[in-house]
Structure 1
Amino acid sequence: MNDEDAKKPAADEDLIDIDSPEALEDPDIDERFAELEAERDEFKDKFMRALADAENSRKRSERDRREAEQYGGSRLARDLLPVFDNMRRAIEAIPQESRETNKAVIEGVELTMRELISVFKKHGIEPISPEIGDRFDPQHHEAMFEAPLPGTKAGEIIQVSADGFMLHDRLLRPAKVGVSSTPG
């Protein structure tokens, strides 16, 4: 075996010398070319799908990260809302005549409530505080009862039992209200 024979690949019948005149006349070349184009298109399609899938995964994980950052503390916030309610009820339950003797305790509870509201606001939690006479909004209010009340129109808030809260753009808890059923 000489050096030239060693450099040649062993029996490659599939390889076509495109410079030879026979290659251009080979009837299988068009078929082989079409096969290679189809294979190329298949790989390109798979590549584009994998690229799109990777981009979708990146976007999905970014959205999930943002949502976890914004709404991750919603369970803790929801669990703290009764604490806020109880502190408000405690202040409202103190009779007017004993307010002066319990002034320090009342100030402490009010200070704690203001601090709790400040922490809520810092984390995107905003109170929903409807007023008597406001229109009932089922997106932000929960009707605890309906009652006819003279001088009101149907759908007006006649009592506020508890404030509601929003966490950014999501309802954390609806405001609990009583609604007038007086016919208009």
Structure 2
Amino acid sequence: MAEPEKTEPEDLATETAGETEAPEITPAEVEALRAERDELRDRFMRALADAENARKRADRDRREAENYGGSKLARDMLPVYDNLSRALEVVTDEQRAANAALLEGVELTLRELLNVFSKHGIVRLAPEVGDKFDPQHHQAMFEAPVPGTKAGDIIQVMASGFMLHDRLLRPAQVGVSSTPAS
């Protein structure tokens, strides 16, 4: 059996000493390496900034989708609210007495719809007659001169408006007083 070669400690010292000698680097090479280092550092910092911006953008998009993702469904539910409200508005006293259970069911359904709206950040805009017209929240359906009112006052409310968090889902539909004809 052959024994593995034994390396003398002196031979090892000579070999490692030869390997540790640094090659001569010219100032131009040093400058080129510094420039490359600076460019790589710059690219790295830009990549870090891009990654941070992408993270922030994804977070913002996620929050927006969470808050406003259901806005189409919410907008489609507004006519349901309108119809239930109208049904309750036109009931006479005779009908109320004859159909008490049915009307109670409609009232409970409307109340539950408003609770669901509230749970999802939908708030009803309910302007009153006499309030000032606000084009950010109201849609003027008509203008009419009405004695005893100022121009821009709401004289009739046809439909409530709705906000989803801070966005307008539907403006309140109102009639507005115009300047009285002289």
| TM-score, with structure 2 as normaliser | 0.85
Residues 162 and 177 in structure 1, CA contact (< 8 A), matched pair in contact too: yes
Whole-Å Cα distance in 1 between the matches of residues 180 and 134 of structure 2? Answer: 18
Whole-Å Cα distance in 2 between the matches of residues 149 and 84 of structure 1? Answer: 30
Is 1:53 matched with 2:50? Answer: yes
- The aligned residue for residue 161 of structure 1 is 158
Q: CA deviation at 1:152?
A: 0.6
- The aligned residue for residue 142 of structure 1 is 139
Whole-Å Cα distance in 1 between the matches of residues 121 and 67 of structure 2? Answer: 8
- The aligned residue for residue 96 of structure 2 is 99
In structure 1, the gaps of 5 or more residues are 10-15
3-state SS, counterpart of residue 67 of structure 1: helix
The correspondence for 1:81, drawn from 56, 78, 93, is: 78
The correspondence for 1:17, drawn from 18, 22, 27, is: 22
Whole-Å Cα distance in 2 between the matches of residues 155 and 110 of structure 1? Answer: 33
Q: CA deviation at 1:183?
A: 4.3
Residues 131 and 157 in structure 1, CA contact (< 8 A), matched pair in contact too: yes
Identity across the alignment (%)? 64
3-state SS, counterpart of residue 135 of structure 2: coil
In structure 2, the gaps of 5 or more residues are 1-10
Provide Cα deviations, 1:98-134, integer angstroms capped at 9, x if missing partner: 2211222111111100010011001110100000000
Residues 147 and 181 in structure 1, CA contact (< 8 A), matched pair in contact too: yes
| TM-score, with structure 1 as normaliser | 0.84
What is the CA RMSD across the aligned residues, in angstroms? 2.2
Q: CA deviation at 1:182?
A: 2.7
- The aligned residue for residue 65 of structure 1 is 62
For 1:169, give the aligned amino acid: D
